[in-house]
Structure 1
Amino acid sequence: MDLATFLVQCLNAVQYGLLLFLVASGLTLIFGIMGVINLAHGSFYMIGAYLAFSLAPLFGDRFIVMLLAGLVLTALLGYVLEWAFFSYLYQRDHLQQVLMTYGLILVFEELRSILVGNDVHGVPLPPWLSGSFALGDLMSYPWYRIFASVACIVVAIGLYYVVNRTRLGMMIRAGASNRDMVRGLGIDIRRLYRIVFAAGVALAALAGMIAAPMSSVYPNMGASVLIICFVVVVIGGIGSITGALLAALLVGFVDTFGKVFFAELSGVGIYVLMAIILIWRPEGIMGKKA
């Protein structure tokens, strides 16, 4: 492998890892902080991709405006879903959470089939991001993938700042540690959880909107993403945003270079990584010991 090819694979690994982080960060907020096993989280990724397909003709070249509009719409969707369904799950056992969220997967897939159909669709690249730049004499790399990586980094920095440097983040961290104490201090824990859930849905949908121009938009596309995101959350440590970022990058590199060097075994690489991490640290990379 020459230097240019190695650089391309490294950029692909970072871009894939950062995209995984967007989805996994929403999952770790919902699963790690709210304690809800949300099997429908992959469906929010799918909703984001189909939203990009639907909104692209309306916004044309204004791709960033389309992403912002999609963020607002999916945050509102998350807020309504938490109020209508998930607010009843906090005191229920995990089996009931799994059954209801699996039911939501079926509902979302049926609605997708009715509204958009079962065909595979593509989302055009915005013209100002459709080119590529040279890496060596023979290799080139698309500008859109660089944009996707930068967008994910900006969101990661913003998420870290909100969680660790703001009053809202302080309430979220306190609610994750002891919700009864937070409620006793006069904080509306239901409203707080509603905001957290809306943010988690918006992050997953944003990942789907960013990924849509790089890949096809197709039915049930959230299923495989959901499994990998649970792996990322477990490796990083349940409830840790920083851990989710580190784990997503690790998974990105293992998956990308596994397909290059061990194509026949690439499907098990991330699960071997998870087993090694959990043997070393059962609570995950940044997880807290019980």
Structure 2
Amino acid sequence: MKRATYLLPIGIVVVAALLASIFIVDEREKALVLQFGQIKRVKEDPGLAFKIPLIQDVVYYDDRILALDTDTIEVTPSDDRRLVVDAFARYRIEDVVRFRQAVGVGGLPAAETRLSSILNAQIREVLGADQVTSDTILSEDRRGLMNRIRDQAQSEARALGLNVVDVRLKQTNLPDQNLNATFERMRAEREREAADEIARGNEAAQRVRAQADRTVVELVSQANKEAEIVRGEADAERNAIYAGAYAADRDFFEFYRSLSAYEESLKGSNSSMVIAPDSEFFEYFGGSMGTTPE
């Protein structure tokens, strides 16, 4: 009976010690076995493992790809247009021994603080480099810039036992205080382009108008020239007819010309003419108006 009384507590202690020496590593984790703060063993494969109870401790670390959102920062590209940049990174703990040595008991919070500082520094360095403008950052070329940030951050993150898988720029915006100035500049540029287009349109219209005026002048001049030619030919033909009529019958020709003169001078209903009755103008009236010519 006494023996059973002693064996029961001993059995309980043995079972408790056995349970305390067993630990399980999940497939999504890695584990470090520590003895008085010193790393004794690394457990990366999932399954059961053993440690010395009370002397050794087990620290677990996530083996999955983790996400980190960086703080919003301002960068100044080579064209001096400041941008507000917000990025995120994907990383994983690649070397748990180096990770433990780098961050100690701070774990992931301490590692993410240091990784965030590394990423912000590389973002400023890459986006602020020569030949990198705000247009480059906002264009499709930003993919190459993000890869450069990732590669340069990776070299520093290895000292923390981390592997930077990817870096992406979530947003790149202008600071609030610069938005109004930028909008005003864009509006001024559009107004200048509109003024240039209007000026070019007016210039083209002036050219068309000048060409049309020149064409009108040329057409009128040509028409006047042709009219003068026709008029001259008609006058020549008329004079030829007059000359022929004069040569055929001189008295009749003079009589006809006098009648034409009477007709032209006495046109209108209220015309008046004062002239001496014995004037040669009335030579062919005869009767009471003058003496009949012989």
Larger RCO (CA within 8 A; separation ≥ 6): 1
Query: TM-score range, shorter-chain basis?
Result: under 0.3
More helix per residue: 1 or 2? 1
Q: TM-score, normalised by structure 2?
A: 0.23
More strand per residue: 1 or 2? 2
